[in-house]
Amino acid sequence: MQIYRSHILVCGGTGCTASKSLEIISELESHINANSLQNEVKVVKTGCFGLCEKGPILVIYPEGATYVTVAPSDVKEIVEEHLVKGRIVKRLLPKDAKLAEVVTSLDKVDFFARQMRIALRNCGVINPEVIDEYIACDGYKALGKVLTEMKPADVIAEIKKSGLRGRGGGGFPTGVKWELASKPVADQKYVCCNADEGDPGAFMDRSVLEGDPHSVIEAMAIAGYAIGASQGYIYIRAEYPIAVERLQIAIKQAKEYGLLGKNIFDSDFSFDLELRLGAGAFVCGEETALMTSIEGKRGEPRPRPPFPANEGLWRKPTVLNNVETYANIPSIINNGADWFASIGTEKSKGTKVFAIGGKINNTGLVEIPMGTTLREVVYDIGGGIPNGKKFKAAQTGGPSGGCIPAQLIDTPIDYDTLIQLGSMMGSGGLIVMDEDNCMVDIAKFFLEFTVDESCGKCPPCRIGTKRMYEILERITEGKGEESDIEKLEILAKNIKASALCGLGQTAPNPILSTLKYFRDEYDAHIKDKKCPAGVCKSLLKFVIDADKCKGCSLCQRKCPTNAISGEIKKPYVIDQDKCIKCGACMDACKFKAIEKKA
Amino acid sequence: MAEMVTLTIDGIEVKAPVGSTVLDAAKSAGIKIPTLCFLKEINEIGACRMCVVDTGARSLQAACVYPVSEGLKVVTNSPAVREARKVTLELILSNHERKCLSCVRSNNCELQQLAKDLNIEDIRFDGETYDFCVDDASPSIVRDPNKCVLCRRCVSMCKNIQGVAAIETMERGFKTIVSSPFNMSLNDVPCVNCGQCITVCPVGALKEKDDTQKVWDAIANKELHVVVQTAPAVRVAIAEEFGNPVGSRATGKMVTALRKLGFDKVFDTDTAADLTIMEEGTELLGRIQNGGKLPVITSCSPGWIKYCEHNYPEFLENLSSCKSPQNMFGAVLKSYYADKMEIDPKKMFVVSVMPCTAKKFEVQRPELGTDCYSDVDVSITTRELARMIKEAGIDFNNLEETHFDDPMGDATGAAVIFGATGGVMEAALRTVADILDNTDHAEIEYKAVRGVEGIKEAEVEMGGMKVKAAVAHGLGNAKKLLDKIKAGEAEYHFVEIMACPGGCVNGGGQPIQPATVRNEVDLRAERAKAIYVEDESLPIRKSHKNEKMMKLYEEYFEKPGSHKAHKYLHTHYVARENYPDDCSEGCC
Amino acid sequence: MKSLAELAAIREKALKEISLRQSNDGYKIIVGMATCGIAAGARPVMNSFVEELKKRNLTNATVSMTGCVGVCRLEPMVEVIAPDGEKTTYVKMSPEMVEKIVVEHIVNGKPVKEYTIGNADN
């Protein structure tokens, strides 16, 4: 085996790939060759590091020096300085927002220092396309242990004891789920993996599959052993081409190594795995819809009971867990249930990966122990709100979730607290909002998503979400009536009660939680016809302050609808009937003479 | 005996078999739970949420699919449950084209009934509504998505029961629509026009193409000699349209009503059914004796014929070359009868009243007629006839009973049973057995081919040989049977296939019974019972004993299978592509 | 995969490959690789270290580079940092000296005094 003195890890996750990390890799290779370093330095394409805000990211070992927002044009300097001369290229190092200090290694940045990586343990560390690297990090040790030392019931007991709960949304205890599926006697059972991550903004499952696909494969085999299934399916959205490719490679390698297939570890246990590509319908993340889709039918939920543990895929007992849940399994087996249960809170054990986005400095992926407060996530890990703005609320749980307002920022994040607050863990999207976000508009945004993604099977969701969206649209356009709030409440309550599946039942949550915490904003839109945050266009006016206007005519020239008129060197005016409120004039004005008025 | 569990519904203790649903259990306790999408054994998907009940779970559950369990506590009538149903119904109504006054299903609409039952006074959640175009290009079926409530009974019927899958649920969310592939017209897809979708539609989103005006116009035209023929299944169903129970016979009243409508002659399609038996029986005997293509498969059902042309072209040679009784009769009317009465066939207008929407397609087939005229000019359904009777102000229930006109009004019991599944087979066996054994058998009831079982088989000894027969009704069953024959797993001499489940009595043109009735009463069985009663009531029950028909051969067609018979009474079939390249663009 | 031993063998082999991304607690061998060092022959010295470690299956040490330390006349220079932080600076290095440093210092924990900066300029 070739031993290299240095490894350069380049993030090959979707985010960094989009910002040219593949180009960086080819630049690296050509400069390394030009400097005859090809036998000393190895370039490794890894999965996501998590700090997507600063991508593309590149880490050079053994120094562990981390370079952020690297451009292909930076590569020459990195090779010539760092690799040839051993001088760190300081200008590309991350800056810690709080300390305003340059640090060499990612581990020392607050963003990482406060994290605890279990599900993401190998992401950004190993080459996901080389099974040996996974094995080097204790990969498949858990499967080996399970198959040679444990009985299926022991495995289930261990997972139950760990307190692991489903990371896909509902938070159902994983061990109990396995136990239920282990009970029925059937000629065939299935293990499925939900990789149909669909919450807007969430991408932790994609990251795990891109950075550490074997951990999911290993866990599925363990689940198969525990419940007595010999066949698994990973249902993954086709929009994740990198994850799909890495999974395909990983499955092929696992088969070559005999870690999938017949008589694994010389036991009686055989397990095979196939990929099924989904077309990206949000509802196919719902377990029964996912299985219906695997069966080749229109992806729609079916009523439960019967539950998948008894009648799942092709009406056979089936276990379905999501990617992140599976990624925890090998560590639990290797380190023991007690270790895992020591992390987190009383009822929410372990860690949770969040995709932080919105109005926050460090957008990206973080894995934190359950019970970490929202404040720590926003300020310590996320680096606070940009431009010194005020934190208003955080939205968790995607379109099924709700908002946590500023006054509850010290809330510990776990399954039960979030439910109590009218939100939910969901798959772990966390969108931060500041004073410039209109909460009615936020609710409308999520409703629009649900309206688009409703499968159309049951009327409460198909028509009900549409009607709620129409009411919100009316309110944000200043056409809301006082009875609209009552209508929203009636619809929300009854859609929750009677929709067929979880998607419909939780669709009203964004409305209910914003109504709960931000009722005043709804009232302002309806009664005063004002949008306090200045977001809803119909309720805004762009006005030129005659005192500040120098009459330069720049705004007039920028206006796409010729709504601005005036004479040079005299104050200009905006014709409100023609104005489409695009804001181009405000951006153009050098004298800050144009104001947005609520 | 199934294992029983005890549950409590609204405080009442109920015993129910394991595997049954809360809806079943509630019914047994006398508790009515409203339903919309549910249709027993056809559509059990819990989609419409009208039947939600409180089982103590986090959300309300659909009673129609919720299995009973020991100790289960169910509340079907609480403020929360009533409100949830009401809001859901209001939502459905908010996107339903509420043109009830001019809707064909007014007063026979399950949605209308629900709105009444749930005391809907106001629709609080109005908003955007569907704006799809109506697909009326098919000669048989009109599809109006603006009235559709997406209960999916039609999809289930078309796909799961009939195995045709000409319609599917498409798009998502508020844009969801039941439509044909690529939004093409039903006319351009392998729809077989069976109309089963119409009979399960709770609202007016699917209906037959209404041809009553053409009939009124013909009757009003003094130049035309307007003749009507009625199929056997019509007489056992039409009374339902006038408030009578399923399975009421009304042959005499129907004939009187037709006369009152102004038809010049009222004939019985059954006469042609007897003719069919003579022709088809001869064909069968010929193929058995001369080593021809076996099995012979019946050709009476136009839905089946089109299905075969689309999906099983390899069986086209097996099809009997006999025209369907409807068209045979039209051809006889415009040849023999026209000759005899000295009427110019071009001035004859033949109307058929059929339990069938596919007959509307059949009458348009270019090969069924001569260059100058079609065998049959217009085919209307049982429902359309009922509408004409109502429009004419005829008090159907109080009509006196009269008999069909001569010379084409006498038929046998064998012809009557054509209306039920297995009937053509039984009628053929009655005749073929007599011919082969050269006797007059007294045992004429072949019960093995009767009934609602999907595929029925019989082996009958006659003329020293064993005749193997099979009967399938519903195209899903037909598919199973054909695949078996194709795989060489079964061999038959004679096969009867009817497109509609239960045969013509349950045809796509028959009176529509709401789910409340269909879930309780097997329409197929009840209407078939009436058919067999009619059979028993007739003096002659074998086709070859029909004297009027034998006279027809004497005077005109010489003998079964003659050259002249072939010219007028037989036809041919074409293989059809499912999605030809030149089919028209989508409608919306 | 037939046994845990088979898996362990693959793990051992692979671990060597990626150990430098993980073992930050071992010895760090830092070779001065500025223009002066390279001119004085630092590259063959560095390559010798990598070879030597590989030959002996040592995973408790990494080889990296640094820039000019400022005493160019003593190049090629190599700094070895022990896990306890103890720094030893070897000067005027040649590939031939590498084996001894690896055997005595990295394996046995005893710096090779005669090559260190303290013994330079005698």
For residue range A50-107, what is the model confidence (pLDDT) as tens digits? 788 888 888 888 877 888 899 999 999 999 888 887 778 888 887 764 444 455 555 6
CATH of the domain at C34: 3.40.30.10
> Locate tokens 């000894």: which residue?
B461
What is the residue range of C87's domain? 22-119
Burial (CB count within 10 angstroms: exposed 0-12, middle 13-18, buried 19+), residue B540: middle
Question: Per-residue confidence at C69, pLDDT binned at 50, 70, 90?
Answer: low
pTM for this prediction: 0.89
Query: Within this chain, do residues A211 and A328 fall inside the same structural domain, yes or no?
Result: yes
Q: CA B48, CA B44: separation in Å to the nearest integer?
A: 10
Q: CA A456, CA C4: separation in Å to the nearest integer?
A: 50
For all residues of chain B together, what is the average pLDDT?
94
**Closest Cα of chain A to B170: distance in Å?**
9
A334 in Cβ contact with A223 (< 8 Å): no
Contact residues for A348 (Cβ-Cβ < 8 A; gap 6+): A163, A165, A171, A370, A371, A414, A415, A416
Residue pairs spanning A and C at CB distance below 8 A: 108
**Which other chains touch chain A, taking contact as 3+ CB pairs less than 8 Å apart?**
B, C
| Candidate from C14, C62, C64 with C-beta closest to A86 | C64
Provide the percentage of residues in chain B whose pLDDT is more than 90.
Answer: 91
Question: Which residues from A are below 8 Å from C80, CB to CB?
Answer: none
Phi and psi based region of residue A271 (left: phi greater than 0; alpha: psi -120 to 50; beta: remaining)? beta
For residue range C21-59, what is the model confidence (pLDDT) as tens digits? 765 667 888 887 766 777 788 888 988 998 888 888 887
| Candidate from B47, B52, B85 with C-beta closest to A457 | B47
A248 in Cβ contact with A206 (< 8 Å): no
Q: Which pLDDT value is given to residue A553?
A: 92
Structure tokens at B143: 């599809």
**Closest Cα of chain A to C46: distance in Å?**
9
Q: CA B95, CA B524: separation in Å to the nearest integer?
A: 34
Residue B114: CA count within 13 A, CB half-sphere: 28
Other Cβ atoms within 10 Å of B102 Cβ, number = 7
DSSP state of C115: G
User: Cβ of C46 and A62 within 8 Å?
Assistant: no
Is the link from the previous residue into B295 a cis peptide, with omega within 30 of 0? yes
Which candidate, B129, B212, B219, places its Cα nearest to that of B177?
B129
Q: Which pLDDT value is given to residue B320?
A: 96
Of the two residues A90 and B352, the one the predictor is more confident about is B352
**Closest Cα of chain C to A395: distance in Å?**
36
Query: Within this chain, do residues A325 and A190 fall inside the same structural domain, yes or no?
Result: yes
**Closest Cα of chain B to A35: distance in Å?**
57
User: Cβ of B80 and A497 within 8 Å?
Assistant: yes
Domain boundary residue, one of A322, A341, A360: A341
- The answer as to whether C5 is a domain residue is no
Query: Within this chain, do residues A273 and A293 fall inside the same structural domain, yes or no?
Result: yes
Of the two residues C71 and B431, the one the predictor is more confident about is B431
| Candidate from A455, A490, A505 with C-beta closest to B59 | A505
The residue of chain C with its CA nearest to that of A127 is: C18
User: Chain C residues with CB-CB distance to A under 8 A?
Assistant: 1-4, 7, 10-11, 13-18, 20-22, 24, 28, 30-35, 38, 46-47, 49-50, 53-54, 62-67
- At residue A519, the 3 state secondary structure works out as helix
Q: Which of B241, B362, B496, B534 is catalytic?
A: B362
**CA angle, residues B323, B326, B327, in degrees to nearest 5:** 45
Contact residues for B352 (Cβ-Cβ < 8 A; gap 6+): B228, B229, B230, B231, B269, B326, B329, B330, B359, B363, B376, B378, B379, B380
- The answer as to whether C33 is a domain residue is yes
For residue range B370-392, what is the model confidence (pLDDT) as tens digits? 767 899 999 999 999 999 999 99
Asked if the C-beta of A470 comes within 8 angstroms of chain B's C-beta atoms, the answer is yes
Q: Which pLDDT value is given to residue B588?
A: 44
What is the residue range of A572's domain? 540-597
Q: Which pLDDT value is given to residue A103?
A: 54
The residue of chain A with its CA nearest to that of C3 is: A265
Is the link from the previous residue into A94 a cis peptide, with omega within 30 of 0? no
The residue of chain B with its CA nearest to that of A486 is: B124
- Residues of chain A whose pLDDT is less than 70? 1-2, 96-110
Which candidate, C56, C59, C51, places its Cα nearest to that of C12?
C59
For chain B, domain boundaries: 4-77, 122-208, 212-569
User: Cβ of B62 and A303 within 8 Å?
Assistant: yes
| Candidate from A452, A487, A500 with C-beta closest to B173 | A452
Give the number of domains in chain A.
Answer: 5
Is the pLDDT at B61 greater than 90, yes or no? Answer: yes
Asked if the C-beta of A62 comes within 8 angstroms of chain C's C-beta atoms, the answer is yes
Question: Which residues from B are below 8 Å from A465, CB to CB?
Answer: 173
List, in sequence order, every residue forming a beta bridge with A574; answer none if it has no partner. Answer: A564
User: Cβ of A7 and C33 within 8 Å?
Assistant: no
**Of A59-63, B179-183, C114-118, which one has max mean pLDDT?**
B179-183
Other Cβ atoms within 10 Å of B234 Cβ, number = 30
Question: Which residues from C are below 8 Å from A63, CB to CB?
Answer: 64
**CA angle, residues A584, A587, A593, in degrees to nearest 5:** 105
CATH of the domain at A198: 3.40.50.11540
Respond yes or no: is residue B359 known to be catalytic: yes
| Candidate from A40, A87, A126 with C-beta closest to C18 | A126
Q: Which pLDDT value is given to residue B210?
A: 97
User: Cβ of A306 and B174 within 8 Å?
Assistant: no
- The answer as to whether A118 is a domain residue is no
Residue window 208-267, chain B: list those with CB within 8 Å of chain A.
none
Query: Within this chain, do residues A273 and A404 fall inside the same structural domain, yes or no?
Result: no
Contact residues for A438 (Cβ-Cβ < 8 A; gap 6+): A476, A521, A531, A532, A533, A534, A535, A536
Is the pLDDT at B521 greater than 90, yes or no? Answer: yes
Is the pLDDT at C122 greater than 50, yes or no? Answer: no
- Which of B18, B85, B87 has the highest number of chain A CBs within 10 A, making it the mutation to test binding with A? B87
Question: Per-residue confidence at B254, pLDDT binned at 50, 70, 90?
Answer: very high
Structure tokens at B71: 């100790």
CA distances from A140 to A137, A145, A218 (A): 9, 9, 6
Asked if the C-beta of A241 comes within 8 angstroms of chain B's C-beta atoms, the answer is no
Q: Which pLDDT value is given to residue A107?
A: 60
Does chain C touch chain A (at least 3 C-beta pairs within 8 Å)?
yes
Q: Which pLDDT value is given to residue A52?
A: 81
- The answer as to whether C91 is a domain residue is yes
Q: CA A450, CA A444: separation in Å to the nearest integer?
A: 10
Q: Which pLDDT value is given to residue A99?
A: 43
CATH number at B212-569: 3.40.50.1780
Asked if the C-beta of A303 comes within 8 angstroms of chain B's C-beta atoms, the answer is yes
Give the number of domains in chain C.
Answer: 1
Q: Which of B320, B324, B352, B543 is catalytic?
A: B320
The ipTM, to two decimals, is 0.93
Respond yes or no: is residue B201 known to be catalytic: no
User: Cβ of C18 and A6 within 8 Å?
Assistant: no
For residue range B183-236, what is the model confidence (pLDDT) as tens digits? 899 999 999 999 999 999 999 999 999 999 999 999 999 999 999 999 999 999
User: Cβ of A141 and C11 within 8 Å?
Assistant: yes
User: Cβ of B150 and A462 within 8 Å?
Assistant: yes
Query: Within this chain, do residues A280 and A428 fall inside the same structural domain, yes or no?
Result: no
Query: Within this chain, do residues A212 and A334 fall inside the same structural domain, yes or no?
Result: yes
Respond yes or no: is residue B504 known to be catalytic: yes
Question: Which residues from C are below 8 Å from A145, CB to CB?
Answer: 4
Question: Which residues from A are below 8 Å from B91, CB to CB?
Answer: 459-460, 463-464, 467
Respond yes or no: is residue B283 known to be catalytic: yes
For residue range A212-227, what is the model confidence (pLDDT) as tens digits? 999 999 999 999 999 9
Residue window 227-286, chain A: list those with CB within 8 Å of chain C.
257-259, 264-266
Question: Which residues from B are below 8 Å from A454, CB to CB?
Answer: 172-174
For residue range C90-102, what is the model confidence (pLDDT) as tens digits? 888 889 999 999 9
A365 in Cβ contact with A48 (< 8 Å): yes
**Which other chains touch chain B, taking contact as 3+ CB pairs less than 8 Å apart?**
A
Read off the pLDDT of each residue in B419-440 and give the average, rounded to a whole number. 93
CATH number at B122-208: 3.30.70.20
- The answer as to whether A117 is a domain residue is no
Asked if the C-beta of B62 comes within 8 angstroms of chain A's C-beta atoms, the answer is yes
Q: Which pLDDT value is given to residue B245?
A: 96
Q: Which pLDDT value is given to residue C84?
A: 81
CATH number at B4-77: 3.10.20.740
Question: Per-residue confidence at B580, pLDDT binned at 50, 70, 90?
Answer: low
